[in-house]
Each structure stands twice: as structure tokens, then as C-alpha cells.
Structure 1
Amino acid sequence: MISVRIGSVRQRAPALPADSITKRIDGILAGWAEASRTKLRDRFRQLEINIMVAVQAGVAAALAWGIAHEVLNTPQPVFAPAAAVGTIASSVGQRLPRTIALILGVAVGIGFGDLLMLLAGNGPWQLGVIVGLAVIGALLLSGRGVLVAQAGGTAVLIAALSPEVGELEYPRFVDALIGGGVGLVVVLLLLPLNPRRVVQRAASYPIEELARQLKVTAQALSDRNEARLGQAVEGLGAIESDLENLKTAVEGAKEVVQLSPARWHRRQTLALFAQGAEHMDHAVWSSRGLARRAVGLIEDNEPLPAGLPIAVDRLSEAVLMLHDEFRHGRVPEEARRRVLRAVHEATLAYEDGVELSGAAVVAQVRSAATDLLRATGIDNDDANRLIHQAAESAVGS
């Protein structure tokens, strides 16, 4: 079809044929669009958490300055708000130990700085020796990066500025103490994060993505679509960084529910997410191995029993059910039921007849099933026993 428009000729491309290739391409684009929407939602969730952290930092800095300036009459208490913000910005789940390390680092830096200046005076070589000794002392104490950095930085300030600014070490130490304490009070008492909400937001994307990629794997396996299986392998590998974020969020939430009285009632719900996060990483890698073995099955044109894609689809459903039951604080009975149904279906497929890669897919289904049962709170021995029983129920049925 040709249309004329303001003196120019525009030729319209013919429509693509509605064949299997076009459908596969449409499926690829639809999967990419869904993944993009899910990732965008996850970024908005993370933005909400970052805004809360920013509010905590602002409140802590203002309070630390006010206490140091108005109560202790420190003329320029710059280190108090700096220490407060440093406490807020510390790695989630590490605020208390990092705050203690910060204060210890100040003490180490002051101690070595004062001692060497008393014995050898001040100057370039003295500064180098002071910093070296302060860092060695910090390494001997714990080796923590924050302690080493704080000790070295404090030693530099003491050695470089003490001749011009009298008694710098005392306000520096008190400022760090005030700032770290105020930061902890803000994050644990005044404005504590909701641990359940933080963990749920961190868990949403990796868990939903794992379920989605298992669904893609099941459909691609059923269609013998090697390209889509390859994309599932890549998609499952990309979940790793999000699982690390989930683990970090769980550690931070544990700190809040342990130390913040306002959040103690969240302990039981958090315990469910914590046990799930611990084993979800293994489930992702088992699922990735499953998708890789499925690629080999298609490449080698091996027989594909109908129950094999069904088993993978049941795993996808189990992951979604696990997430839903954890979010509502329920025992994940339905997730466990679907996991064992996946094992049953995979065993039926094995009994129907598979070759090398097909047998490996069945093995990976069982491996992922074990990981998911562990994520629901079942110990390793019981999980293996349940998997064995589910497989036996399929033999000869």
C-alpha cells in the first residue's frame, strides 16, 4: 500500500505473517516488557525506602548538632552530625557494630596521635608514623574497614590540627559518641523502618522473577523453544544481585526487631522471610540448572513427556504461593503441596521415558523442590524424605 503525503511517498511495510516464528518473537517482546515493568515497580519500592533513610539522616544530623552545640557548648560540632549521618548510612543490619567501630576508631586515633606527639612532637614524618601506628592498632583490634578508616582519619586530624586548634581530641571523641548515639536512637526508636515492609519490598522482585522465569521455562519446554529457554537461563542468573539485596534487607530487619521495642511484634513474620531468603538462593541456582538441562534436551531432540513442563509449572506456582503465604504470615502449606506435586509430575515424566538431559531435568526439579521445601521451614532430612515419598507415589500409579 502506497500513500502520498505533502509531496513525499511513504511506503508501508507489509504485515508479518501470523506464523509460529512471529508468535515466538511476540512472546519474547512480551516477556521483556513484563520484566521491565516489574523492575520499574521494584525501583519505586526502593525509592520509598531511600526517602525514609534520607529523612532519618536529616533528623539525626539536626539532633546531633543541637545536642553538641546547645547542651555541650561545642562551638563547631561538625563531627557530631557527620557521625550521625555515617551511622544512618551504614550497611543495613550493621549499624550497631559499625557505630561501635566508629567510636573505637576515634579512640584509637586519638590515643596514638597524642602518644607520639608527646614523645616526638609534630611534623610530616610524625604524621606518617602516627597514621601507620593507628591503622596497625585498628587492624589488631578487629580489622573492620570502618574502624581502620576512622582510626587513620582521626590520627591525621589530631596530628595535623592539634598544634593550631587546642584540645581537638576531646570534642572529636565526644562528637563521635553523640553522633553515633543519636543515629542509633533515630533508626531504632524515633523513626524505625517497618521491617516487614522493607523485607517484602526487597523480596517481591526476586521471588516474582523466579516464578516468572520458571513459568517461561515450562512454556518454552512445552513448545521446544530453545531460544526462550536460553533467555530463561540468563534471566535466572540475573536474579542473583536482587537476592543479595534481599539478604541485606533481612539482616537489617533483624537488627530493627531485636533492638527497637516498637517493632518487636514483627519477629515472627520476619522469621518466616528470613528462613525463606536463606534457601531461595539455592532454589534459583537449581532452577537455572533445570533450564540449562532443558536446553540440552531440545538440542538433542530427546523425548519430552507431557508431565515435565507441568512439573516445572508447578514449581512456578509454588514460588508464588510461598511469597503470598509469607506476606500474610501463614504457614506455607499450599506452597509445600505444589512443590510435592511438581516432584510427582516429574517422576511420572521419568517413568514415561526420558534420555540423558531429560533425566537431568527431573533431577533438577527435585533439587529445586528440596530448596523450596527448606525455604518453607522444613529441615533437610524431612525435606528429602518428603521428596522421596512424593516420587514413590508416582511410581506405578
Structure 2
Amino acid sequence: MPARDRLSSWNRFLRNRFRIGVKRSGASIYPALQMTICAVGAYAFAEYVLGHEGPLFAATAALISLGFSREPRTRRVLEVGIGCTLGITIGELLLQVLGNGLWQAAIVLFSSLMLARFLDRGVIFTTQLGLQSLLVVLLPAPEGGVFTRSMDAIVGGVFALIVTMLAPRDPRREPKSNIRELLSELSAVLRQVADALVRSDSTLAWHALVRARSTQPQLDLLARSIRDAREIARISPAYRRHLAELGDLRGSVGYLDLAIRSSRVFARRTTSVINHASLSDTAVDKVSEVINDTADAVDILARALGGGESQPTRERHLRQARSELAAVGARLHPASLDVHDLYGDALVMLFRPLVVDLLEATGLSHEEAVSYLSEV
């Protein structure tokens, strides 16, 4: 590769990394402020109120419990507190039996790590248990006894929970944003499939399949964000009233997951239908129209589930999305779409589960959703 091309490639790479870094840093300002205030507050409380000298574990426990990780905070707090206490206990017991030294430290650390993995799969729990048992063997006990560090860890965890409860940020914001992004992708996939049919371009349909498959990280992120939001709502008095709405969102996400999976199957079948030229021009027009109408309904559903409007507005959007999806379902019969080929029949039949999944995402039961489909 010529030097100029290498330099250009490096410039693009650095610019991209810079943009990503700026975006990531901007999104982390609020969590970083939370972590800073929480860690300093926990340290100050342990030092000035409890009288512990240099309570670093209060600050580190607060940082770990809040963190930038998407693991539930309550679990992290418990892992830090219990892991720290249990690690100190094990370290102290083995210290009495083995004494201190490097080979004793190796035995203590290995035993602690194996016990931690036996008790729980949590990475933080394992790390805390192993670290604390090791420190007991290698370092002199702090003033007040070895369990002073355990108390500091509990202080840090409690401060993290308090900050979480008092956080002014609406826990619904992130999952709703993730839902909008996911449904935007689903809508784009459907429109791309419809466009592929109109153009008779199987490669474009395959690209739609690849795009649908690439939504899995978004689905995983959405599930985690709803789980975290529900946890915050449960422990925060200010947001407990949103638990029911978050529960509805969690139910809808399960059906959206199924709809995404159905879209992948449908896109793959579309590729085969195009390759076999299985649809007449009239059928192509009608099927593509149905797909585009479904994409329009998905856009409305995104506003209903991912918008920040009031409850009446949200319900209105849900009813509108349900109505449009029901209209699509009533047309999903091969004969109604001028489809008279086995490949085309299969394509229409594969689209029906996707519409049912979307109808269920609007709040209908499975039986109610199926009742909107045209009988075959």
C-alpha cells in the first residue's frame, strides 16, 4: 500500500475514533458526575463519621457499584458487600491456619477464587472475594480490625443505592430510545424488502436479511436497558409509578424480538421468490404495498412505545398502529394479493406471523391478534 494511502487510512481511523470518543464521553458526563459525588461522599462518611483511617474501599465500592457497566446496580452492590465480607472471613481463617507469606497467599487466592466461582457466577463477586482474602494475608490489618474494610465496602454500596434512588434522570428514557432505534431498523428492513421485490433484486433482499440479522445487539441492549430501568424504578420512590409502564414495555419487547426474527425469515424467503420469478407484476405491487403499509404501522408503533408523550397520546398511537396492522392482516391471503405460485404462497404465509407479533406488541393477546388475519 502506498504511503499516501496508508496515511489517508490512518487519518480516517483517527477521525472515526475521535468522533466515537467524543460521543461516548458526552454520554458519560452524567454517570461520571454521579460516580464522583458518590465515591467522595462514601469516603468522607467512612472517614469523618465512622472514624476509619483512609477508607479507600468505601470509594472503590461506590465506583464499582455504580460504574459504567449495564449489570443491575443492586446486584453489583450485593456482590461488592458480600464478596468483600466473605473474602475477609476466608482470608482471616486461612491466615490462622497457614500463616502469612507468598505461598500462603497463592493458596488463599486460589481457594477463594474457586469458592467464589462455586457460589456465584458474578465477576465482581469473584474479584472482591479473591482480592480481599489476598489483602488479609499480604497486608497488615487496618486500625479497627480486618472487617473495617468490609464496613467501608458496605458504606460505598449503600451510597451507590442512595444515589441511584435520588437520581433525577427518568429511567424510561434509555429503553424508549432503544425501542425507537430498533423499530426504525425493522421499518427500514421491511421497506428494503419491498423495494427488492419491486426491483426484482435478490441481492437487495439479501442485504435486508443481513440488516435484520445485525439488530441482535440492539435487541440485547434493549432487554438490558429495560431490566436496569425496572430496577431503578423499584428502588426509587420518585419513579416507582413507572413500573407498570416499564412492565408493558418489557412485554412488548418480547414480541418485537419475535417480529425481528420473523423479518429475517421473510427476507430470506423473498430472496428465493425473486430468484424464481414467482410473482406476477400485479402480485409484486400488492405484496410490496402490504409490506410498506406494515412499515408505516411500525413507525407509528415506535412513536407509541418509544415516544415521550402522555399516556393518552401513547394509547392513541397504539390504537392507530393496531388498526393499521389489522388492516394489513385482513389482506394477507395469497388470493387477495394475486399470488398463485407455491413460492409466493409461502412468502405470504411467512409474513402473517410477523404481523401477529406486531399486533401482540400493541397489547393484544395471541388469540385477538390472530383473529385479525384473513382466513386461509
How far apart in 1 are the matches of 2:100 and 2:182?
55
Q: What corresponds to 1:143 in structure 2?
A: 121
Pair 1:152-2:134 in alignment: no
Work out whether residues 101 and 146 of structure 1, in 8 Å CA contact, stay in contact via their aligned partners in 2: yes
Q: What corresponds to 2:331 in structure 1?
A: 345
Residue ranges of structure 2 left out of the alignment (5+ in a row): 1-18
Of structures 1 and 2, the larger Rg is shown by 1
Q: What corresponds to 1:257 in structure 2?
A: 233
Give the drift of 1:345.
2.7
Q: What corresponds to 1:132 in structure 2?
A: 110
How far apart in 2 are the matches of 1:127 and 1:93?
30
Change in 2 beyond 3 A, CA 1:344/1:381: closer
Give the drift of 1:349.
5.1
Task: Choose from 345, 352, 355 the match for 1:369.
Answer: 355
How far apart in 1 are the matches of 2:110 and 2:173?
44
Q: What corresponds to 1:223 in structure 2?
A: 199
Task: Choose from 67, 79, 86 the match for 2:45.
Answer: 67
Q: Residues 213-252 of structure 1: CA distance to partner in whole angstroms, max 9, x if unpaired? A: 2112112212212222122111111111111111111011
Q: Residues 17-65 of structure 1: CA distance to partner in whole angstroms, max 9, x if unpaired? A: xxxxxxxxxxxxxxxxxxxxxxx99x96x76653221121111111111
Pair 1:297-2:279 in alignment: no
Q: What corresponds to 1:33 in structure 2?
A: none
Residue ranges of structure 1 left out of the alignment (5+ in a row): 1-39
Q: What corresponds to 1:322 in structure 2?
A: 301
Pair 1:55-2:33 in alignment: yes
RMSD: 2.3
Give the drift of 1:174.
1.3
Give the drift of 1:93.
5.6
What residue identity is the alignment partner of 1:310? E
How far apart in 2 are the matches of 1:217 and 1:356?
19
Task: Choose from 365, 370, 383 the match for 2:369.
Answer: 383
Give the drift of 1:351.
5.8
Q: Residues 77-97 of structure 1: CA distance to partner in whole angstroms, max 9, x if unpaired? A: 211111101111164361112
What residue identity is the alignment partner of 2:165? L
Q: What corresponds to 1:31 in structure 2?
A: none
TM-score, normalization: structure 2? 0.85
Matched position secondary structure for 2:354: helix
How far apart in 1 are the matches of 2:247 and 2:113?
38
Moved more, 336-345 or 102-111: 336-345
Task: Choose from 150, 155, 160 the match for 1:173.
Answer: 150
Task: Choose from 313, 316, 319 the match for 2:292.
Answer: 313
Q: Residues 147-199 of structure 1: CA distance to partner in whole angstroms, max 9, x if unpaired? A: 12211111111111137x5666222111101111101111122x243112121
Work out whether residues 192 and 208 of structure 2, in 8 Å CA contact, stay in contact via their aligned partners in 1: yes
Change in 2 beyond 3 A, CA 1:47/1:253: farther
TM-score, normalization: structure 1? 0.81
Change in 2 beyond 3 A, CA 1:313/1:155: same
Work out whether residues 114 and 158 of structure 1, in 8 Å CA contact, stay in contact via their aligned partners in 2: yes
Percentage of pairs with the same residue: 26
Pair 1:184-2:170 in alignment: no
How far apart in 2 are the matches of 1:251 and 1:361?
35
How far apart in 2 are the matches of 1:349 and 1:293?
19
Work out whether residues 286 and 367 of structure 1, in 8 Å CA contact, stay in contact via their aligned partners in 2: yes
Give the drift of 1:120.
2.0
Dislocated runs of 4+, deviation >4 Å: 46-49, 165-168, 348-351
Work out whether residues 192 and 256 of structure 1, in 8 Å CA contact, stay in contact via their aligned partners in 2: no
Change in 2 beyond 3 A, CA 1:349/1:235: farther
Give the drift of 1:137.
3.2
Work out whether residues 211 and 319 of structure 1, in 8 Å CA contact, stay in contact via their aligned partners in 2: yes
How many residues were matched structurally?
347
